[in-house]
Amino acid sequence: MHYPVLLISILLALGGCSNLQNASMESRQAELLELSSAESEEKSTLSMRLFPIPQSAEAPAQLAVQKDVTLIERAVKGFEWADYRDQEQVDYWINRYLSQLDQFEAVLDRAEPFLFYILNQFEVNDLPAELAFLPFVESGFRPEVASWSGAAGLWQFMPATGRSLGLDQDWWTDERLSVDQSTLAAIRYLSYLHSHFDEDWFMALAAYNTGEGNLRKVIRNNDGNTDYWTLKLNSETASYVPKLLAVVYILKHAPSFNLDLPDWPNQTHFEIFQADRQLDLEAVASHLKVEQQYLLSMNAHYPQKITAPNQSARIALPAELIERMDAILDSLPEVGPLSWTRYQVRSGDNLSVIADRMGVTVRDITQANQLKSILIHPGDDLLIPRPDVRISSQPVTSALASVRSGDSPWLIARRYGVGLSDLLAANDLNGSEVIHPGQLLKLPSQPSGDAQITHEVRSGDSLYDIAVYYGVGLTDLKAWNALGSSNLIRPGDELTIWLRSESQI
């Protein structure tokens, strides 16, 4: 996760350091404060000043394709860092990954759609090829994944950090989940950190994970010594660089471990298609005969599965389908109108409680109702936005859930790890009916995968890391193991995991 660079506490922490190279501390603090308080139309210009895109970023992303190497071979040939296996933490993670090599391969397989684009962008910006595998550690190469702390996307940006880097976030769009926009933002942020930590990539990575201010505090407590391996870092950050180095080491020495690296062609996998109209992603997938889940994952920056109204749509498509998309664009159906739920504020309510109850964010409510503050009063009417619910065919059911006070269908679906549309279909609900405490709802019987495995929790494991490693949802993982809202697990615990056929290991 990456903590916002705009927090006042970070500004204060920056004050005791002397290695800023491009501006005085006073002017930098002023710039950050200016960015934090700027109007939206000013943020882009200020963001560019603080986190400038290197000149080479304007170069064509499509470099000359080397036909004589695979994509992974190209990446490995670009590796320049030393092995560092003599470092205890690096050796630990190498052995850890090797002991679960099938899982390592499963995560690596998810890199295929993104790696060519990432490598190209990193090459034109003179970033190390090793950093192209940072999403292996951050998100397991899943653009739609979000952590419990709020970090999201391939590069796991926190909301404020994403906004400071120019990534739009609202009810319709979250560019932290955009494959291309988030990658360009990662380049800007990593380049910025590299230049402000004496051009030391390990220090830049540590700052990327724990935050600039936190790292500078660690440096001060280390008598100013900036040797990465001597720093007393928190456990997550202490393992962050070793994890990446372990991934790189295994890829470099794959034949020694009988690891057959994928033979993906060294060519573009996706291209960005732009349209001056709103698009329904499920309709696009159907018309192009593309697997729906694949298309939604590649375009996770549209969380409502439809692009924003009154804006040009930008969707990632397999490169070979760009011409086909252009041909069918006019035949795609118009996006249906947005539906709304009216909510009357009750005594004791606040926006956070209402957002959780209704399955939206506080930002969704404030924007939909043009609220200037978070102050609301009992009796106020609020509009809760949502797209029309698409109901799936009736699933088989085998269990019941009792509705609790304050429940909504979305909360029940999340609690039991089932799909909202499946829950609505199982109970002949269209999404607008009121449900009441004590009411019994049928739960769809949907084994969340085709193969059940057991994972034994090890020291250093977290639920989020385990979910990313197996390519499953954190909510699903908690539901399968009856963990409720708790994230507490201990070494030796056994967790049940359901794997779908395409991700079995």
Rg (CA), the chain: 24
- Name the pLDDT band for 39 (thresholds 50, 70, 90): very low
Does residue 229 carry a pLDDT above 90? yes
Q: What's the mean pLDDT in 358-379?
A: 78
Does residue 143 carry a pLDDT above 70? yes
Q: What's the mean pLDDT in 394-406?
A: 56
Reading the block at residue 418, the tokens are 């089932």
Same domain, 372 and 314: no
- Could you tell me which residue, 425 or 415, shows the higher pLDDT? 425
Helix axes 409-416, 351-358, angle to 10 degrees: 70
User: CA torsion 451→454→458→460, rounded to 10°?
Assistant: 40
pLDDT at 9: 34
The bridge status of strand 440-444 relative to strand 397-402 is antiparallel
Q: How far apart are CA 19 and CA 225, in angstroms?
A: 12
Q: Which residues pair with 317 in a beta bridge?
A: 271
Same domain, 379 and 402: no
Same domain, 52 and 180: yes
- Could you tell me which residue, 86 or 43, shows the higher pLDDT? 86
The reply to whether 263 falls in a domain is no
Same domain, 250 and 167: yes
Same domain, 30 and 93: yes
pLDDT at 190: 97
- Could you tell me which residue, 432 or 333, shows the higher pLDDT? 333
- Name the pLDDT band for 455 (thresholds 50, 70, 90): confident
User: Which of the residue ranges 22-36, 175-189, 317-331, 444-458 would you say has the lowest mean pLDDT?
Assistant: 22-36
pLDDT at 117: 96
Same domain, 238 and 303: no
Same domain, 285 and 221: no
Q: Kindly report, residue by residue over 101-122, the tens digit of the pLDDT.
A: 999 999 999 999 999 999 999 9
Q: How far apart are CA 497 and CA 453, in angstroms?
A: 5
Does residue 392 carry a pLDDT above 60? no
The reply to whether 80 falls in a domain is yes
User: CA torsion 281→312→55→213, rounded to 10°?
Assistant: -70
Instruction: Please give the C-alpha separations between residue 92 and each of 60, 87, 292, in angstroms, as whole numbers.
Output: 40, 9, 39
pLDDT at 48: 61
The reply to whether 262 falls in a domain is no
- Name the pLDDT band for 60 (thresholds 50, 70, 90): very low
Reading the block at residue 155, the tokens are 């590069």
Q: How far apart are CA 425 and CA 429, in angstroms?
A: 6
Q: How far apart are CA 93 and CA 108, in angstroms?
A: 16
pLDDT at 303: 87
In three-state form (DSSP H/G/I as H, E/B as E, the rest C), the secondary structure along 143-157 is: CCCECCCCCECCCCE
For the chain, what percent of residues have pLDDT higher than 90?
46
pLDDT at 367: 72
- Could you tell me which residue, 396 or 97, shows the higher pLDDT? 97
The reply to whether 142 falls in a domain is yes
Q: Pick from 285, 304, 331: which residue ends a domain?
A: 331
User: Which of the residue ranges 45-49, 137-141, 146-150, 355-359 would you say has the lowest mean pLDDT?
Assistant: 45-49
The reply to whether 1 falls in a domain is no
Same domain, 424 and 492: no
For residue 306, the SS3 value is: strand
Same domain, 468 and 348: no
List the one residue out of 241, 313, 239 whose CA is nearest residue 280.
313
Same domain, 280 and 325: yes
User: Which of the residue ranges 24-33, 153-162, 178-187, 422-431 would you say has the lowest mean pLDDT?
Assistant: 24-33
User: Which of the residue ranges 54-63, 349-358, 491-500 would you say has the lowest mean pLDDT?
Assistant: 54-63
Range of 1-15, 205-219, 345-359, 413-427 with top mean pLDDT: 205-219
271 is annotated as an active-site residue: no
The reply to whether 15 falls in a domain is yes
Same domain, 432 and 460: no
Q: Pick from 284, 311, 331: which residue ends a domain?
A: 331
List the one residue out of 14, 43, 39 whose CA is nearest residue 28.
14
Does residue 338 carry a pLDDT above 50? yes
- Please count the CA atoms within 13 angstroms of the CA of 329 that sit on its side-chain side: 14
Q: What's the mean pLDDT in 58-83?
A: 78
Residue 65 DSSP label: P
List the one residue out of 343, 351, 353 whose CA is nearest residue 375.
351
Q: What's the mean pLDDT in 161-175?
A: 90
DSSP H or E segment with residue 401: strand 397-402
Instruction: Please give the C-alpha separations between residue 250 and each of 4, 133, 137, 460, in angstroms, as whole numbers.
Output: 32, 12, 14, 20
Are 70 and 266 in contact by the 8 Å Cβ rule? The answer is yes
pLDDT at 138: 95
pLDDT at 235: 92
CATH number at residue 79: 1.10.530.10
- Could you tell me which residue, 264 or 337, shows the higher pLDDT? 264
- Name the pLDDT band for 368 (thresholds 50, 70, 90): confident
Does residue 388 carry a pLDDT above 80? no
At residue 151's C-alpha, the angle toward residues 147 and 154, to 5°, is: 90
Burial class (CB in 10 A: 0-12, 13-18, 19+), 302: buried
Q: Kindly report, residue by residue over 197-207, the tens digit of the pLDDT.
A: 999 999 999 99
Q: What's the mean pLDDT in 359-367?
A: 75
At residue 453's C-alpha, the angle toward residues 447 and 454, to 5°, is: 120
Q: Kindly report, residue by residue over 477-491, the tens digit of the pLDDT.
A: 877 776 655 667 877
- Name the pLDDT band for 316 (thresholds 50, 70, 90): very high
Average pLDDT in the chain: 79
The reply to whether 3 falls in a domain is no
List the one residue out of 213, 232, 227, 209 whose CA is nearest residue 157.
209
Q: What's the mean pLDDT in 405-424?
A: 70
User: Which of the residue ranges 4-18, 71-85, 110-124, 298-312 would you say has the lowest mean pLDDT?
Assistant: 4-18
Range of 45-59, 63-77, 79-93 with top mean pLDDT: 79-93
pLDDT at 30: 45
Q: What's the mean pLDDT in 332-351?
A: 77
pLDDT at 18: 30
Q: How far apart are CA 473 and CA 413, in angstroms?
A: 13
Same domain, 279 and 352: no
Structural domains in the chain (count): 5
pLDDT at 503: 42
pLDDT at 42: 53
CATH number at residue 481: 3.10.350.10
pLDDT at 288: 93
**Catalytic choice (138, 175, 212, 271):** 138
**282 contact partners, CB below 8 Å, separation of at least 6:** 292, 296, 305, 390
pLDDT at 232: 95
For residue 213, the SS3 value is: helix
Q: How many helices and strands (H and E) does the chain possess?
A: 22, 8
Are 278 and 235 in contact by the 8 Å Cβ rule? The answer is no
Q: Pick from 213, 236, 257: which residue ends a domain?
A: 257
Q: Count of residues for the chain?
A: 505
The reply to whether 424 falls in a domain is yes
Burial class (CB in 10 A: 0-12, 13-18, 19+), 257: middle
pLDDT at 29: 40
pLDDT at 2: 59
For residue 383, the SS3 value is: strand
Which residue's structure tokens are 């949502």?
386
List the one residue out of 96, 87, 27, 157 whose CA is nearest residue 459.
96
User: Which of the residue ranges 130-134, 169-173, 400-404, 423-427 would you say has the lowest mean pLDDT?
Assistant: 400-404
Range(s) of the domain holding residue 463: 451-503
CB atoms near residue 104 (< 10 Å):
22
Q: How far apart are CA 467 and CA 473, in angstroms?
A: 6
Which residue's structure tokens are 């860092």?
81
